[in-house]
Structure 1
Amino acid sequence: MEQRKPLTIITGFSIKDKCDLIKEIQGSKQSKIKVILFRPTDVNLVVNSADPYPLTHFIGEAVHELEINTLTNLITTLEEISSHRNVDEILLDIYPTSDIDSLFDCSISQNNHQNWYLKSHIHVIDARDFWFSYFSEHGIELTNHTLEYTLGEALINQLELAEMIYIYNTNQLSHERLGELMVFIQNLQPKALISVMNDSDWRGEDKKNAFNMKATSSLYVDQINLFSSRSNLKVIGQYGIDTFVYQSHLPVDFNRLEQFFTKIPGEVFRMKGRCYSPFTQEIHCISQVGSNIQVETSKMCSTKSIDMLTEFLFIGSELNQEEIITMLDDCLQNKYKDIIAY
């Protein structure tokens, strides 16, 4: 039986830095590598005139051996290419506006039934432009207008799914600003290998094991555990980046929680969490990037909600924890206090 071909996914917003990384990977190996660009055509860029940075500041053009525009065609092409004897490895460059969750879901469902396997997911960051793209108000929407999210959300989604993160143009930041960026990224993805990339700095890790796509489902737990491990310690070298977890056994009043969202402190860069509403028997999963907040709501059986925590993870710069606690305490439904205590 012919051995399955390794696939490396490369994400990030800096086209130039991704191209440089691809060249360095190609130059460090003797194997025959096929480079594919996945640029889906079912998404539109939504320009926000209030954003001072044009889209061209983040997204450029690059030339690849092959460009694929739909997920179906991508899966078919990967199968065809991985069966070729003159190809040893595939590099898949994901266009900045792409949502890679669908690709991961498809790969998981078809695992062991395809001629390729996902070896690595590398995310590339331009240290100089990271915060510009993270706080960008430009949007991305599907052509059927069913979904809209910001460039910052797309960036963080790619970053938090990566197991290897490489940072370019670090010499253009001061020591303090680079330290702040490194700590923030580490809090976003505690288990990722984070490396600063300079000229000729590609180390060419030769991984033997496949990338564990299911590990991404435990990311939230990893972030919570990172906070818990440091909660009673004075950690040196955090450059003002704080992680804070709010927890309560009381449910929230979602109307009051929505008011909290409108007043969330600007020092909060990333927030995610979940809460349960006993009135509607719904669980709300919440994700915030910059100024944008997404809420996913699903029904839950009341018997399963007994141990449901109200829990929010905050990552930001010099967070005022007491202020956040007070604001969230005001969102709790205190009339359930006696029932839970009992």
Structure 2
Amino acid sequence: MNKVPITVITGMIGAGKTKISNRLIHGIKGSNCKVQVLVYYPDTITVVEDISTKRQYRKLPHQEQPAKLITTQEQLISEMISYSKEKQPIDELIIELAAGIPPQFFVEELFQSLEKDMLDKTFYIQSIVSVIDAQHFWFDYTSNHYVIYTNDNDRMEHTFAEVMISQIEFCSHIVINKCNFISKESLDETVSFIKKLQPKAQIIFSADGQVASQTFHSVNDVDLHQIKSNIGWKLELKNNSSTLNLVEKFGINSFIYESHSPIQLEKLEEWFRTFPSEILRSAGYLRTYSEAHGLELLYFSQVGASVIIETVDEHCTDTTARSKVVFFGFDLKDVEVTQQLNQCLMENNNINQTVV
């Protein structure tokens, strides 16, 4: 028995995930294959849109065939177990994720569940597809919309921009949908930025969810380690290009800030208050010093006005010698940003005095 391929589809509200699922079902049906669609929408996720900027959505298209709503990973695995039995076998599985789900956590948990329940002998993930709404990409990216995640007594919020970044950076294919609604120049600008975020994913252009069913077909599991290694800022660090890197004529560029001296977090927080608006995305590692922890390396991630700084895991020891941060944005002034960050550095004698 051949293993059943799984296509995971993610994207924001109105991007066209359901239409693309319909196109895929229609194409696959033409080959006399039985397809099942699962819509994964946990009760713990709520999408909130600012009423002053909320756009009008067209009525969602009906699925080509009834899709099953799944709200938990346990329910998802239970459903897949039923498909693995001879009574109701399927030839392909499409999992459409709710708008606010970061795909990396979902896919990694799915991989673990497949191995745990020995379903990896029956299923494999052939593609992770991120659907982009070309018409409203910058509207969503710069909006005040956000997603609420609740778990027991915990509550977290992520902006649309943060969720969009996670969906673009962690995927094997990117469908840029609704290309017919914007100018070629606007489309090229959007594509240039997306390629900076995830340069290795296959890009497919679509006017109205028109995607050929064979587009995402693969005979092998997606390589999660490879996808994470191919994220744009990680590749920039690997290539180690500290000079300003221009992308064609659209003003989208990147550069790497690097320093052996530790950064003082208090000064860095002050800098965030006047963060240059030209910076759209930055990520990397910060070498810092504190009385409590001494010298340490922290992971840094910024999307719009949102900044995350957390302890680096054990797999990032190759960058412990210095701070290295990649910046992406429009018409970046690398010299000015470098000077501003240099003002956040600690002097060696300050460190010695603190140690004493």
Q: Which range, TM-score by smaller chain?
A: 0.7 to 0.9
Alignment of 1:97-246 (within 5 A): 97-110=100-113, 112=115, 113-114=118-119, 115-143=122-150, 144-198=153-207, 200=210, 202=212, 204-205=214-215, 206-218=217-229, 219=231, 220-225=233-238, 228=241, 231=243, 237-246=248-257
Q: Per-residue deviation at 1:171?
A: 2.2
State the TM-score, normalizing by the size of structure 1: 0.86
Q: Is the 8 A contact 2:298 2:310 kept in 1?
A: yes
> Residues 215 and 316 from structure 1, CA distance in 2 versus in 1: closer, same or farther, beyond 3 angstroms?
same
> Residues 18 and 163 from structure 1, CA distance in 2 versus in 1: closer, same or farther, beyond 3 angstroms?
same
Q: Is the 8 A contact 1:7 1:118 kept in 2?
A: yes
Q: Which amino acid aligns with 2:96?
A: D
Structure 2: give runs of 5+ residues left out of the alignment: none
Q: Which amino acid aligns with 1:89?
A: E
Matched with 1:22 is: 21
Tell me the distance in 1 between the aligned counterparts of 2:109 and 2:211: 33
Q: Per-residue deviation at 1:145?
A: 3.6
Tell me the distance in 1 between the aligned counterparts of 2:7 and 2:319: 42
Q: Quick check: 71-80 or 266-275, which moved more? A: 71-80
Q: Per-residue deviation at 1:207?
A: 1.5
1:113-156, Cα deviation, whole Å (9 max, x unpaired): 31322110011111111111112222222223432111221111
Matched with 1:297 is: 311
> Residues 265 and 9 from structure 1, CA distance in 2 versus in 1: closer, same or farther, beyond 3 angstroms?
same
Are residues 1:79 and 2:81 paired? Answer: yes
State the TM-score, normalizing by the size of structure 2: 0.83
Alignment length (residue pairs): 331
Alignment of 1:54-73 (within 5 A): 54=54, 64-73=66-75
The residue matched to 2:297 in structure 1 has which SS? Answer: strand
% identical aligned pairs: 25
> Residues 59 and 78 from structure 1, CA distance in 2 versus in 1: closer, same or farther, beyond 3 angstroms?
farther
> Equivalent of 2:282, from 271, 286, 289?
271
Tell me the distance in 2 between the aligned counterparts of 1:59 and 1:255: 48
Q: Which amino acid aligns with 1:320?
A: K
Tell me the distance in 2 between the aligned counterparts of 1:136 and 1:307: 35
Q: Is the 8 A contact 1:190 1:223 kept in 2?
A: no
Tell me the distance in 2 between the aligned counterparts of 1:320 and 1:292: 20
Tell me the distance in 2 between the aligned counterparts of 1:21 and 1:257: 43
> Residues 8 and 111 from structure 1, CA distance in 2 versus in 1: closer, same or farther, beyond 3 angstroms?
same
Tell me the distance in 2 between the aligned counterparts of 1:214 and 1:337: 40
Q: Quick check: 78-87 or 259-268, which moved more? A: 78-87
Structure 1: give runs of 5+ residues left out of the alignment: none
The residue matched to 2:38 in structure 1 has which SS? Answer: strand
Matched with 2:265 is: 254
Q: Per-residue deviation at 1:58?
A: 10
Q: Quick check: 304-313 or 317-326, which moved more? A: 304-313
Q: Per-residue deviation at 1:174?
A: 1.9
Q: Which amino acid aligns with 1:72?
A: E
The residue matched to 1:147 in structure 2 has which SS? Answer: strand
Tell me the distance in 1 between the aligned counterparts of 2:156 and 2:12: 20
